[in-house]
Amino acid sequence: MTLETMPLSKALNAGMRKAMENDPKVLLMGEDIGKLGGVFRVTEHLQRDFGDRRVLDTPLAESGIVGTAIGMAMVGYRPVIEIQFDGFVFPAFDQITTQLAKLTNRHEGALRMPIVIRIPYGGHIGAVEHHQESPEAYFAHTPGLRVVSPSTPNDAYWMIQEAISSNDPVIFMEPKSRYWQKGEVELDASAVPLHSSRVVRTGSDVTLVGHGAMVTTLLQAAALAEAEGTSCEVVDVRSLSPVDYEPILDSIRKTGRMVYAQEAQGFGSIGGEIAATVMERAFYALEAPVLRVSGYDTPFPPAKLEGSYLPDADRILEAVDRSLAY
């Protein structure tokens, strides 16, 4: 097995490079992704190595970028779009939700839309308004879109390749606060199925569930809980639409308790949907209500207040204590 340690951003770069080497129909589009290599340097050197006909710097027009990608997919290309920041995706929202998501169904499956839309999302980078949103629930709510989010460099490397190979549109949510977090990447392993959850830490008392950047925070909370005598199992959802529920349900049947944590607001969220499904499908295994820890139901605050807004290990541990108290 070939292992290489790299940050999540470089793992994404390596995954896209591999996909471009394997398929000449794969091309990248986005604002400043070429010569600059993107704001977060995720596409660094790809234009140098593949040329400006496969790594395209676009105008600052998100709706136009997505619309162009739809046309390119119609004639056989596999575009990978970068939305520079999460809050900038909304000018393209109409193209994504009323066109891209519906075209395959509109053509009764005869027209495929192999488009990946990469969206850096979430907080913890001290940025200004429109740069720290968590809009994943909007897209997971839209039939016709697949929505995934890696939490580790290894997942980033393999999941971006799996997303690019999909014949359906994939919203690829990248936790930007983890871009610089390093981890081992198995360069010659087999890809884990794109739409699968997985247990990343075993435990027996409480199941902690989350996605994206929050998985690292859940692991931190689990380590602190263990020091206090509580054993927490951690499940990384990975795929937000569709959701692979079996690893989550199997864990809850073992622990009897669940806490879901996310950066996004609580109302109408991924965590709420998963909590409801768990209550429906594992009700008799639960020894306490499913609890949720989330961002507050307000617009994202100024950077100096993000530490109070975003869930941390302490807020997760408080929910663990409440769950155990039932």
CA-to-CA separations, 195 to 48, 99, 118, 174, 242, in angstroms, rounded: 32, 23, 16, 15, 7
Contacts of 143 (CB under 8 A, 6+ apart): 101, 105
Distance CA 325, CA 288 (A): 9
**How wide is the angle at C-alpha 12 spanned by C-alphas 99 and 299, nearest 5°?**
60
Which member of 107, 130, 131, 195 is catalytic?
A: 131
Spell out the SS3 assignment of 170-199.
EEEEEEHHHCCCEEEEECCCCCCCCCCCEE
**Coil, helix or strand at residue 37:** coil
Query: What tokens were used for 113?
Result: 């839309």
131 is known as an active-site residue: yes
Give catalytic residues, as residue numbers: 131
